[in-house]
Amino acid sequence: MYDGSGLKVEKKPNFTARVPVGLANAPRERVATAEKILADADVRVPVEISIAEDPFVLLASRLDDNAPWNGGGRWEAWRGTEHRSTCSTGFGVNASGRTWILSAAHCASLGDIAYQGVFGGGSGTGFSQMGPINSDQWAYDLLLIDTPGWYLIFDGSPTTSNTKRVYSWGYWATNELVCQSGMRSGVVCGIRQEYSEDVRVSCNTPDSDGDCDYVLREMIHSFKDGGGIAARSGDSGGPVFTLDGNGVRAKGIVSGGSASGNKMVFQDWHDVIRLFGAYPRTP
Amino acid sequence: MRLAATVGLSAAGLVAVATFWAQDGGDAAELPPPVTAGPAHCPPTRDVSWRPALSSTRGGDLLPLAPRRALLCVYPAPGVDAVSQLSETHVIEGATAREAVAYLNSLPSDTGDEVFCFGAETAMYTTVFDYAEGHASVSIGCGVEYAGGVRPEVNIKKLVRYWFAE
């Protein structure tokens, strides 16, 4: 109550109902009942507990997530009031005793701040500060965002709230099919890894600093089987993976592609380990 | 007889230009590129695709040589729906507009290797050239395309500087 005379607590109607991803992200041992929390808090005013009539709705999507962040979400790089680029989150990773978000280096630079969601995006979107850019490995197109990462990636359309768990990681392999889950395309599968080769950055699409005509090292060149689009503008930084049971195996980070969209170029997990000592966060 | 007709289509915020040629003899590469009837204007919207994606390209000049003026249409990185609204229009005239066309016409039609483009979304540009007979609209993506002519790589910073040289 506003006058301090008591406390009203509203519980969700059914514990098995779908819960916001942010709550679903919480480890089970950290979820306590309202009664236990109240008892532990030693509340000394009258408490009224009721059950909500309406179910909870999902609050997290590619366009509106919350920490710890999932892969495959939309993020924007800003330098003060200057928007620099929009990309996709890759994977939550463990490195140096904590978690981070892995994405693509050309999306931002040291000094930029990452925000999740859509600036001025309106209904169904959010805009939340994630954290500063930490490690910018531009020659390998990988970076870390200094913010907590989670073990889920979004799985579905460009606006989906569905997720899959990340169980493992693996190196690239010729002729193996992979999927990617960038925020612009949603999940695209049937992308065949063909070869690893350096690639020159064209001046059609300079990086966030305006730089181009330099070489990215050891990139994996892959093609959508049977034609069609493997990746689009906006998918950069997004997760590349194969299926692993009911979850996924992390394989790399989307970098770019060809004009037709049939070719996707990504950085593989070998360089993630070599540069950052990072592995995907898993359950 | 030579006949060139250009049709502008607009649907769901996507502006496309389809060009049709009919000719009796001669090399299509030697034809001057056609223009679209009507005054030059910036399209109100632009999508984010990595155009162009053509398997073959027209040779010769990409654009007619002598525009009267040229527009630079600026679109911020899009929000949710992959379509961006026009935010700025900049204009150059006379010799500077012709220099911009000369630069685009100087681009090679074959760069040897397939061009790689980054997949981050940033501000986007479309150039529109105004001629006595009509106008030509060229979107800058992963390369440029106009009336069946593809140039796989354009230095976007160099191109934009024609509008901001002063």
Q: Per residue in A77-95, pLDDT tens?
A: 999 999 999 999 999 999 9
User: Which helix H or strand E contains A92, and what residues bound it?
Assistant: strand A91-95
pLDDT of residue A1: 59
Which range has the worst mean pLDDT, A58-72, B28-42, B54-68? B28-42
pLDDT of residue B128: 97
pLDDT of residue B155: 94
Question: In 3-state terms, what secondary structure has residue A230?
Answer: coil
Q: Is the pLDDT of residue A23 over 50?
A: no
Q: Which residue has the higher pLDDT, B20 or B113?
A: B113
pLDDT of residue B54: 60
CB pair distance less than 8 Å for B141 and A204: yes
pLDDT of residue B50: 63
pLDDT band at A20 (very low <50, low <70, confident <90, very high): very low
Which CA distances in Å does B82 have to A231, B47, B121, B124?
Answer: 14, 6, 10, 12
Alpha carbons within 13 A on the beta-carbon side of A195: 3
Q: Is the pLDDT of residue B7 over 60?
A: no
B118 to chain A: which residues are within 8 Å by CB? 104, 106, 201, 205-207, 236, 255-256
Alpha carbons within 13 A on the beta-carbon side of A170: 16
Mutate to test the interface with B, among A188, A233, A253 (most CBs of B within 10 A): A233
Quick one: which of B84, B76, B163, B93 has its CA closest to B130?
B93
Which range has the worst mean pLDDT, A129-133, A260-264, B93-97? A260-264
Cα A79 to the center of its chain, rounded Å: 21
Alpha helices in chain A (DSSP H): 21-24, 34-41, 269-276
Close Cβ partners of A177 (under 8 Å, ≥ 6 residues apart): A189, A190, A191, A192, A193, A225, A242
pLDDT band at A122 (very low <50, low <70, confident <90, very high): confident
| Contact status, residue A39 vs residue A32, Cβ threshold 8 Å | no
Tell me A6's DSSP state: -
Mean pLDDT of B51-66: 78
Q: Which residue of A has its CA nearest to B151?
A: A204
| Contact status, residue A178 vs residue A190, Cβ threshold 8 Å | no
Alpha-carbon span B59 to B61, nearest angstrom: 7
pLDDT of residue B52: 57
Cα A252 to the center of its chain, rounded Å: 13
Alpha-carbon span A75 to A238, nearest angstrom: 10
Q: Is the pLDDT of residue B4 over 50?
A: no
Nearest-CA distance A84 → chain B (Å): 7
The model's pLDDT over A219-253, given as tens digits with 9 standing for 90+, comes to: 999 999 998 999 999 999 999 999 999 999 999 99
| Contact status, residue A220 vs residue A246, Cβ threshold 8 Å | no
Q: Is the peptide bond before A68 cis (omega within 30 degrees of 0)?
A: yes
pLDDT of residue B164: 92
Sign for the CA dihedral angle at A32, A35, A40, A45 comes to positive
pLDDT band at B53 (very low <50, low <70, confident <90, very high): low
Question: In 3-state terms, what secondary structure has residue B158?
Answer: helix
Q: Is the pLDDT of residue A123 over 60?
A: yes
Which range has the worst mean pLDDT, A49-63, A148-162, B21-35? B21-35
Quick one: which of A91, A237, A103 has its CA closest to A166?
A91
pLDDT band at B116 (very low <50, low <70, confident <90, very high): very high
Q: Please provide residue A129's backbone torsions phi and psi, each rounded to the nearest 5 degrees.
A: -70, 130
Q: Is the pLDDT of residue B85 over 90?
A: yes
Mean confidence (pLDDT) of chain A? 89
Q: Which residue has the higher pLDDT, A37 or A2?
A: A37
Tell me B34's DSSP state: P
Hey, is the C-beta of B122 within 8 angstroms of any chain A C-beta? yes
Structure tokens at B83: 């379509």
A85 to chain B: which residues are within 8 Å by CB? 77, 120-122
Stated pTM of the model: 0.81
Domains of chain A: 7-51 (no CATH), 69-149 (2.40.10), 157-268 (2.40.10.10)
Hey, is the C-beta of B115 within 8 angstroms of any chain A C-beta? yes
Structure tokens at A16: 């098995």
Q: Is the pLDDT of residue A132 over 50?
A: yes
Q: Is the pLDDT of residue B11 over 50?
A: no
Mean pLDDT of A21-34: 55
pLDDT band at A50 (very low <50, low <70, confident <90, very high): confident
